[in-house]
Amino acid sequence: MRFSSVTERLAGQGGAKWRVHYRATQMAAAGRDVIRLTIGEPDVPAPDMLQEAATAAMRAGRTGYSDGRGEIGLRRALADRYGSTRGRPFTPDQIMCFPGTQTALYAVMAAVAEAGCEVLVGDPMYATYEGVVRATGADMVPVPLDPARGFRMAAEDVAARVTPRSRAILLTTPHNPTGAVLTAGDIAAIGEVARAHDLWIIADEVYEEMVFDGVRFSSPLADADLAERVVAVSSISKSHAAPGFRSGWCVGPEAFTEALLPLSEVMLFGNQPFLADMTEAAIRAGSPVAAGMRARFAGRAERLAARIGARTPLRVHRPEAGMFALIDVTATGMDGDAYAHDLLEATGVAVMPGASFGATLTPMVRVALTVGDAAFDRAIDRIAAHAETRCNQHV
């Protein structure tokens, strides 16, 4: 039987990157004491108000077909929210709703890139980005994110990789997996590159409400001079601890959403009205859980850095936001992949090899900050004891 070329372009995307996670799952099922620091699930359940709002909407009969753009109530709520947080007006027609950030990103990318195009993406990157770009037929061009610069994308590094085939720059701020947050100056400089070469800026802002104290979030949507070329994607998955509800959106110029509508209707023909009503309530009420998650994740990152730094020569990169921290494991004599497998088998602690997110993180591993404090502190002790042994062997 024959398949389309997209299946070939996406072959090998995904599964191999998660070998450590799958192995940890097998070990746990076999009865091993395993602490999984691989996946960024929120550490609290979705708020009761979401379930109550969705249930009430279903009982009210909100189970029919939906507007292809998304329900007007939700789009109005999002336009109000973006208007108040970005400092310029937005209309409901600038919003389109999707089942989660991932679907929104897939649709947005399909609307701006195709075979023969290039999309510039920071390296490291979220694990699905390469597949999202390749699905369109476009080529992904990695832009190394310098650890010495806090892993924030630099405009000069973007400009050095622009070609006549370039079509878009994919930004992630706050960033997964590094926790970096772009400054307003970073965004302005990258915006100059985008204007000079007529490029789209696609901004994944799903971690917006996970920014730690003392750090300021900036969005390219706030820059009126970039308004015609910026499209942002987000959802309630992180802000409201609700990844399973799959409720997201994109926001951009009206000309963009108008062009995207036929593609969205071919994919989805609208999403569930009862989930739209739930999400509208969530957006208007704000998150009752985001502040707690921010504080816990920041605290765990600080404890990880302090204890690992005091006991071992490993280096922890402190995030500015999000659900993850990075550890440079060079001192063990292993790269991140070998280290992650060795750590799991020796101690039962599962972390993600950095190379799963791009070549820049080959010497590192990504640690999820999303397990409870007691389990997280046990994991720190196991990581430190393991490092003491391995680093001494490497000397």
Looking at the chain, the whole-number percentage of residues with pLDDT higher than 90 is: 90
CATH code assigned at 242: 3.40.640.10
- For residue 343, the model assigns a pLDDT of 97
| Contact indicator for 317, 178 with CB cutoff of 8 Å | yes
User: DSSP alpha helices (H): ranges in 10-153?
Assistant: 19-29, 48-59, 72-86, 100-112, 129-135
Average pLDDT of the residues in 342-361: 95
105 and 203 in a single domain? The answer is yes
CATH code assigned at 300: 3.90.1150.10
Whole-number Å distance between alpha carbons of 289 and 348: 30
| Contact indicator for 312, 388 with CB cutoff of 8 Å | yes
Whole-number Å distance between alpha carbons of 153 and 170: 10
156 and 197 in a single domain? The answer is yes
The DSSP symbol for 138 reads P
Tokens of 62: 């909100």
| Contact indicator for 101, 233 with CB cutoff of 8 Å | yes
Q: Which of 251, 270, 285 is the last residue of a domain?
A: 285
Whole-number Å distance between alpha carbons of 11 and 6: 8
Closest CA to 37 of 331, 343, 379, 364: 379
Whole-number Å distance between alpha carbons of 245 and 42: 13
Q: Is the pLDDT of residue 9 over 90?
A: no
- For residue 251, the model assigns a pLDDT of 98
- For residue 14, the model assigns a pLDDT of 60
| Contact indicator for 245, 278 with CB cutoff of 8 Å | yes
Whole-number Å distance between alpha carbons of 249 and 2: 34
Phi/psi-derived region of residue 217, left when phi > 0, alpha when psi is between -120 and 50, beta in every other case:
beta
210 and 312 in a single domain? The answer is no
The residues, ordered by sequence, that sit 6+ positions from 277 with a Cβ below 8 Å of its Cβ are 53, 54, 56, 57, 62, 71, 73, 74
- For residue 270, the model assigns a pLDDT of 80
Closest CA to 238 of 265, 210, 264, 213: 210
Q: Across the chain, what does the average pLDDT equal?
A: 95
Average pLDDT of the residues in 307-311: 95
36 and 58 in a single domain? The answer is no
- For residue 8, the model assigns a pLDDT of 82
371 and 310 in a single domain? The answer is yes
pLDDT, tens digit (0-9, with 9 covering 90-100), for 76-103: 999 999 999 999 999 999 999 999 999 9
* Residue-wise burial string across 166-179, b where 16 or more C-beta atoms lie within 10 A, e elsewhere: bbbbbbbbbbbbbb
- For residue 271, the model assigns a pLDDT of 85
Model confidence at 1, pLDDT cuts 50, 70, 90, reads confident
267 and 331 in a single domain? The answer is no
185 and 314 in a single domain? The answer is no
**Alpha carbon 156 to chain centroid, angstroms:** 23
Q: Which of 241, 270, 285 is the last residue of a domain?
A: 285
Average pLDDT of the residues in 142-161: 97
Q: Is the pLDDT of residue 281 over 80?
A: yes
pLDDT, tens digit (0-9, with 9 covering 90-100), for 360-371: 999 999 999 999
pLDDT, tens digit (0-9, with 9 covering 90-100), for 130-144: 999 999 999 999 999
The residues, ordered by sequence, that sit 6+ positions from 100 with a Cβ below 8 Å of its Cβ are 235, 237, 243, 246, 247, 248
Whole-number Å distance between alpha carbons of 69 and 200: 21
- Which residues sit opposite 235 in a β-bridge? 248
pLDDT, tens digit (0-9, with 9 covering 90-100), for 190-249: 999 999 999 999 999 999 999 999 999 999 999 999 999 999 999 999 999 999 999 999
Model confidence at 390, pLDDT cuts 50, 70, 90, reads confident
Closest CA to 245 of 97, 60, 73, 25: 97
- For residue 15, the model assigns a pLDDT of 66
- For residue 345, the model assigns a pLDDT of 96
161 and 227 in a single domain? The answer is yes
- Which residues sit opposite 119 in a β-bridge? 140, 168
84 and 141 in a single domain? The answer is yes
262 and 369 in a single domain? The answer is no
pLDDT, tens digit (0-9, with 9 covering 90-100), for 11-32: 776 667 889 999 999 999 999 9
Q: Which of 233, 258, 285 is the last residue of a domain?
A: 285
- For residue 61, the model assigns a pLDDT of 97
Q: Is the pLDDT of residue 287 over 90?
A: yes
| Contact indicator for 57, 296 with CB cutoff of 8 Å | no
> Number of structural domains, the chain?
2
| Contact indicator for 201, 2 with CB cutoff of 8 Å | no
Parallel, antiparallel, or unpaired for β 324-328 and 364-368?
Answer: antiparallel
- For 230, list phi and psi in degrees, rounded to 5: -105, 130
Looking at the chain, the whole-number percentage of residues with pLDDT higher than 70 is: 98
Give me the domain span that covers residue 390: 5-45+289-394
Q: Is the pLDDT of residue 64 over 80?
A: yes
- For residue 394, the model assigns a pLDDT of 58
Average pLDDT of the residues in 171-195: 97
- For residue 86, the model assigns a pLDDT of 97
85 and 69 in a single domain? The answer is yes
Which CA distances in Å does 381 have to 158, 191, 280, 316, 324? 40, 44, 43, 14, 18
Whole-number Å distance between alpha carbons of 297 and 369: 6
266 and 309 in a single domain? The answer is no
Average pLDDT of the residues in 1-9: 84
